Every structure is written in structure tokens, then in C-alpha cells.
Structure 1
Amino acid sequence: MRYGLAALALASALTSGGAALAQSDAPVPLSYGVRPFYLVDKLPDGELKEKLAACMNQTPARTAFSIGHRGAPLQFPEHTVESNLAAARQGVGILECDVTFTKDKELVCRHAQNDLHTTTNIVATDLAEKCTQPFTPASDGAEAAAECRTSDITLAEFRTLKPKMDAADKSATTAEAYLGGTPDFRTDLYVDDAQLMTHKESIELFKSLGAKFTPELKDPSVDMPFDGFSMDDYAQKMIDEYKDAGIPASDLFPQSFNLDVIRYWVENEPEYGRQAVYLVEPDDSWDGSDPSTWEHSPADIADMGINYLAPSINMLVDLDDSGEIVPSDYAKAAKEAGLTLISWSLERSGPLANGGGWYYNSVTDAIDSDSDYYAVLDVLAQDVGVVGVFSDWPATVTYYANCTGL
């Protein structure tokens, strides 16, 4: 492992307290920080604000309802040791490694196979010439561009890269300037010395933190098979790395947007496939109230032997005739089909003024303040009945879950 001294010290402390953590008692102090209180303070007067404000003196506790989405990337570079330590300190019960592979077919944690140009410093290194599309500067009205894939480089080369916040300055005329562009609601304060992870390293770290695992097998940017490496080989390799690490199936929630991958796990790794999570998101024609626009009905998904469904937030909530946020017809159909629901990703959108962006486009007219993170979360938890929520800042979800007994 390549963790820094602080990470190793925390991992050691967490490991020594593993028995306590199994009972949802953190072996090191947890902290909500100030953000949950800030959001509660902004809520309009009413039942939800009274309920959440009454919990301000509670002691934080770890909860599986709170899932770290790439760690805690609202402020830390995603899929780094530091991002996941931050999430663990905010009380998450489940951590995520998005899984892709390198040129030598080793598994690493990246949100996409082709995101190295926005999540690392690769375009400003000697490895830039190996990128699928090396950096080209902005010129004559054209934006700066690059595409760098994990499959362009070996694992040894991947290890030399430095992570950064996911961003790019498309007005840049130099590779160094292209590394900028961090949205103003995030920060570069915690970028220095952040550490990338392989998939195996994420398993070791998350295990030491006492968390469960929800790896997402990402669809490759390259054509498959890749140098003889098929999609089935890829899906199997991910599961095998948990088996090799001694992780029980009960602690693993493997995810994919690829239905064929989910069905592969269900059919070929039934013990692990029992908790496979099918991720879905709406296309442009999707309407939560019109089943004819759903690619697969929840009933059809359940009939495939899939137990866990994870739609994006905008698929699970809608507005009623009075403008109140309520469960969508899709959410109701999923519950009727007996599917266990998870949703994603709270705190991804930044400030929620003016409708909140893509994640909230089914309830835009009800979104006008950051406090609406809690308004939506309350509907997801109490009315939709999700069992977990991914968040870019897990303390927000942990606070809510602790307060409401989830």
C-alpha cells in the first residue's frame, strides 16, 4: 500500500476497533462538520426543520444508509485515499470504487476509463503523448481538448499520476492551465499529496475502515474484447478480487449500468449477484408517469432475478398537483415489484438555487435553496423507501439517517 502516515495511522486505529465498528460504533471520532447544520438552518419553518433541528446534539454514528459517492468528492479529489477517509469520518457505512482497467488489464478506481485528463495531471506529464487524444489548446473559437484513458497506460504508469478535482479549463492554451477549472462550489484545498488507488488497494482500505463495498464496473471506452480481455472476464475479475481478499458476499453490493453485467453476476456468481445493484438513469424520452417510456419495467427487472435497483434521484421523485415533492409512479412500481431501492447522488449538483440542475429536473419548480437537499432526502427516505443514498458529502445523509433512526 502507498498510503501516507496519517492514512496508515487511521487504518490501524480503525482495524483495532473493528469489533466495535461492526456494531455501528465508530472506532475513531466521527464528525458531521458544519454543513448539515447549515442546511437545517436554511430549511423553512415546519415539521422537517423541527425534526432535524432537534437532533443537533446527537452523537454521530456510522450508518449503511449513507454511501460515499467516490468518497467525499465535494471537497476531496474523487477515488483517492483522502476522499474515502473523509467519507469514513462522516459516518458512511458503504464506500464506492468505480472500477476500470489499465493497458495491462489491472483494475483501478476511476469514474470512467477515459477521465484521466480531467481527474489527474496526466496532460502535463511525459505520459501525455500516450493519451488517446493528447492535449490540444483552445484556438480560433475551438475549446481545449484531450482524452486520456487508463487503458492508454500501464498500472506502473498510472501510479505516477497525481489526482486532482474533476475539472478542466477548456479555455486553456497550455496543458498546465487545462488542469484548472474546478467549479467554485468545490475546492482545491485538499489536492496536495492525494493518493490514487487500485481496486485491490480500495478493498484493503475500505476493509480497514470497517465499511462495506459497492464497486461499480464501468463500461470501457475501448472496444471489447481488449487484447483478449472480454466483458465477462472483466466482470469476473472484479468479483475475484473480493474473493481473494476474503470479503463475504454479504458485504458486497456490486453495481453496473450494464444489464448484461448484472445478469452475468446473477447467473454466474449467485452468492455475490444476490446483492448486485442495477443502476439506471433516464434518457431524453423518459417520463416517470408513462411506463411506455421505461426501457425495462421494474417488474421485468425483478423477474430477471435482480433484487437491487438504483435509479437517479430524478427518477424517484415528482411533483403532485399542489407542487409538493412526492414519489414518482416509477418509484411506486419499483416498490410494488419488491425491488430494494438505492438512489444517487445527493450533493452532486452544488448550490440548488434556480431548480437544482439535472438531478432534480423532475421537481425543478420545488427547488430553490440548498435546504432542499433535505426536503428531497426526506421524501426519498420516508415516502419512496430507499435503503441508501449516495452523496458527494456523506455527512449530510449521515446526519439525517442518525436523526431518523435509519
Structure 2
Amino acid sequence: MRFPALCTALALSPSLAFAVGSTSSEVPTTGLDYGPRPAYLIEKLPEGALKTKLQSCAGQAPKRSLFSIGHRGAPLMFPEHTVESNVAAAGMGAGILECDVTFTKDLELVCRHAQNDLHTTTNILTSDFAHTCKTPFIAATDDTPATAECRTSEITLAEFRTLKPKMDSADKTAKTAAAYLGGIAPYRTDLFTDGAQQMTHAESIELFRALGAKFTPELKSPSVEMPFNGFSQADYAQKMIDEYKAAGVPASDVWAQSFNLDDVLYWIGNEPEFGKQAVFLDASYKIDGFDHTNPETFPHDFVDLKSKGVNFIAPPMWMLVTTEQDKIAPSAWAIAAQDAGLEIITWTLERSGPLASGGGWYFQSVKDVTTDDSMYYQLLDVLAQDVKIKGMFSDWPATVTYYANCMGL
């Protein structure tokens, strides 16, 4: 087996050992661990039916759930898209794991949230390959924050493998490249970065299958102009699917994602079995005038999307909800998607840190009722029971797994 960290995890976990050599449709249910966070969040809930129900499940045995999706693994505390991050997510019962897919200079597919994020997710700025960065490190001045931009498309796979993963962060006040690598959010940690291992997309398939999980790769928008060295967008979309086919992974175990509707339509037209579960990531929030409570501003006709073969759609959490009389309720966007027969997946729980100040971007539509961390479960409950989402991406999957197990999802 390629990954030493996985070997250690398999030795420690009966469920993971059971998964090795099995198909990803077999779901191990023992040896998982919620850890202390679900109970911590449940205790913060106001008295009522939700708190009573979740407390009643305190003694339940954790089970892997397809409702619980590891967002880049478990990056609340582990470097994203690393072996360690995904082993942790699987150990928390995430039934689906994510590799965000981009490509290197020699057109190899690797797991990376963006083609141009190496300056915040690796040590490239202090490595032998700092000179390859599209924008070399520029120190902060009194008027201008520090900046840099480094792309996988500027280095080969062999060079990529020499980089050391770190928590996604940057110190914009930095005067040196080494200092720029800091800036970790105070609610995260760098305790688990030492020796963390990056992955190619093909290696992620090997790992996730060994962990007993299914797959949701996201084809990331290139930072370079396409075609790139003769590599077209269609070539890119096809190559990602081809790596699942080469590994013998059934299409029913894969939810391929893209913000680019043309990618989704390409899979529907050219790889119809994979296209059935292709996920259109909706970024309507980037369009001027968009209002998730006003159907007249929606840029997509959901009925038309469904007629073209799109079955899954995934907006950020806040687009799915609004507040009515200080209560969370489904938004007009959510109702329209439901009425069109679209299955909804959403992102990203546990990415916001402490919620006492309103929760930031992911909670913007319910900020007026977001006063503490209990909102993680209050929002999740509305999304699951009223919006009827099919899956939740999370930076700490144990929170979602506990809820899914308790509610029978």
C-alpha cells in the first residue's frame, strides 16, 4: 500500500481494515469515532425537541453515512487534501470523500482546491520551486498586503511531490516568505501538519476505496487559458472520469462536481452513467442582482436543467434558507429546486469557526439568528428535514455523521 499513514490507520481501526480489498459499496460500521465535538455542540442547543432528540442518541454506535461528506477531508484541523485529512474524515464516518481536481505542468491530475493555491497550502514559497510562482512573494507595506500566486500548472508532478502541505493560510502582514506561510485562523491548528502527504487524483481513488468511502471529485476551473499545451477542457473533464474507469470504480459510487455547467453537460452527454450523478455547483451568488429569495433573479431555469439531465445541484448553505419571524425556513431558491425534482447537496458546515459574531459568509442569510455554535445543528436540522438535502459537506464530518446516524439518514 502506497501510504504509510493509511497503513497505521488500518492497523488501529477494525472498520478501515475491513474496507481494504472490499468494494466501496460495502460500508464498515465499527471502529468509528465521533470525538467530543458533537456533544459539545448539542449541549449549546436551546431546550427543545432537537436537543432532546440528539441527546437521546448519545450512546449510539457510529456508522458511516453517505449524508456526511468530507470537504477536502477534515480541514478544520488537518491540512486539506492530504492522506491524513481524509483518514480522519473517514474515521468520523464520512461516507463520501472529496478530491478537488486540477492539473500540473505535465498534465497529471492532483488533489488541490485551486490550481493557484500552492502559496497558501504548501511551503512552495520557501522551497526550491519558489521561482516558478506566477507572482513571486511580495512583502507587505504600510499600504499593501503581502501577496503571491503559485500554480500547479507551473510545476511537474515530480516537483509537486517535493512540496510540504500545510494548513491553508497566509499572513498578509508578512515581510518575508517564511512569515507569509503563517496566518492560521485561531480556531484551527497546525498540530497535524508534520509529514502530511499530498495525493494525485488516482492516489485519492486508491485511498478512499481502502477507507470504505465513495467519491465526489470536483473539476476545478483552470487558472490558465484552455487549451493548455493542447489539453482542452473536454480532455480535462474526460481524464478525470477515465481515472475512475481505470480503477474499476462503478459510476454509481461517483458524484463528479463542477461549477462549470458545460462540464456537467459534457459528462451527461459523453459519460452518461457518471452523468446521472454529476453535481452542478451553483455559483449564482456571484451574479449582480441575485437574490436567493426572489425567483425573478435566478439565472438558471431549474426545470430546464432537469430536462437536460442534471439531477444534482449544490449551492452554499445560505442560499437554501432565509428567516421568517426569527425562524430558519427554506428559501425560494430551495423550493424552486425541489419543485423541479433536483436533488440538493450543500456546503460547507464547520468552515466558519465560532459563530458568536454571526457566522460570516456561510451563515449570511441567517446571521440575525446566529448567536452561538448551536446554530451548526439548528441549521443542519432545517436543511435536512425541510430542504431535504441529500448530503452535507463538512470540514469536520463527525458533526454531520452524528446527526445523520441519530436521524436515520
TM-score greater than 0.5 by the shorter chain = yes
Match of 1:62 among 57, 61, 64: 64
Separation in 1, partners of 2:304, 2:232 = 27
1:355 deviates by 1.5
Task: Identify the residue that residue 370 of structure 1 maps to in structure 2.
Answer: 373
Task: Identify the residue that residue 174 of structure 1 maps to in structure 2.
Answer: 176
TM-score relative to the length of structure 2: 0.96
| Matched residue type, 2:221 | D
1:43 deviates by 0.5
1:141 deviates by 2.2
1:290 and 2:294 correspond: yes
Secondary structure of the 2:137 match is strand
1:384 and 2:383 correspond: no
Task: Identify the residue that residue 299 of structure 1 maps to in structure 2.
Answer: 303
Choose 44-53 or 281-290, whichever is displaced more: 281-290
Secondary structure of the 2:173 match is coil
Per the alignment, do residues 21 and 107 of structure 1 end up closer, same or farther by CA in structure 2, a change over 3 Å counting? closer
The answer to whether the 8 Å contact 1:278/1:309 transfers is yes
| Matched residue type, 2:81 | H
1:52 deviates by 0.5
Task: Identify the residue that residue 228 of structure 1 maps to in structure 2.
Answer: 230
Task: Identify the residue that residue 8 of structure 1 maps to in structure 2.
Answer: 7
The answer to whether the 8 Å contact 2:226/2:232 transfers is yes
Separation in 1, partners of 2:105, 2:356 = 42
Task: Identify the residue that residue 206 of structure 2 maps to in structure 1.
Answer: 204
Match of 2:54 among 52, 71, 81: 52
1:352 and 2:355 correspond: yes
Separation in 1, partners of 2:79, 2:89 = 12
| Matched residue type, 2:329 | V
The answer to whether the 8 Å contact 2:19/2:26 transfers is no
The answer to whether the 8 Å contact 1:291/1:297 transfers is no
Q: Which runs of 5+ in 2 are unaligned?
A: none
Task: Identify the residue that residue 148 of structure 2 maps to in structure 1.
Answer: 146
Q: Deviation string for 1:160-216 (max 9, x for gaps)?
A: 000000000111111111110000011111111001110010000001011100000
Between the two proteins, the alignment pairs up a number of residues equal to 403
TM-score relative to the length of structure 1: 0.97
Task: Identify the residue that residue 281 of structure 2 maps to in structure 1.
Answer: 279
Q: After the TM superposition, which residues 7-406 of structure 1 pair with which residues of structure 2 at under 5 Å, given as runs?
A: 7-11=6-10, 14=16, 16-17=18-19, 22-26=25-29, 29-281=31-283, 282-283=285-286, 284-320=288-324, 322-406=325-409
Per the alignment, do residues 93 and 157 of structure 1 end up closer, same or farther by CA in structure 2, a change over 3 Å counting? same
1:24 deviates by 3.2
What is the alpha-carbon root mean square deviation over aligned residues?
1.4
Secondary structure of the 1:362 match is helix
Per the alignment, do residues 206 and 185 of structure 1 end up closer, same or farther by CA in structure 2, a change over 3 Å counting? same
Separation in 2, partners of 1:25, 1:137 = 49
1:142 deviates by 1.6
Separation in 1, partners of 2:24, 2:219 = 27
Q: Deviation string for 1:101-125 (max 9, x for gaps)?
A: 0000000000000000000000001
Separation in 1, partners of 2:282, 2:23 = 35
The answer to whether the 8 Å contact 2:345/2:392 transfers is yes
Secondary structure of the 1:330 match is helix
Per the alignment, do residues 2 and 25 of structure 1 end up closer, same or farther by CA in structure 2, a change over 3 Å counting? closer
The answer to whether the 8 Å contact 2:125/2:177 transfers is yes
1:15 deviates by 5.0
Separation in 2, partners of 1:361, 1:303 = 31
| Matched residue type, 1:344 | W
Secondary structure of the 1:355 match is coil
Choose 382-391 or 296-305, whichever is displaced more: 296-305
Separation in 2, partners of 1:111, 1:391 = 15
Choose 276-285 or 368-377, whichever is displaced more: 276-285
Per the alignment, do residues 47 and 71 of structure 1 end up closer, same or farther by CA in structure 2, a change over 3 Å counting? same
| Matched residue type, 1:7 | L
The answer to whether the 8 Å contact 1:20/1:26 transfers is no
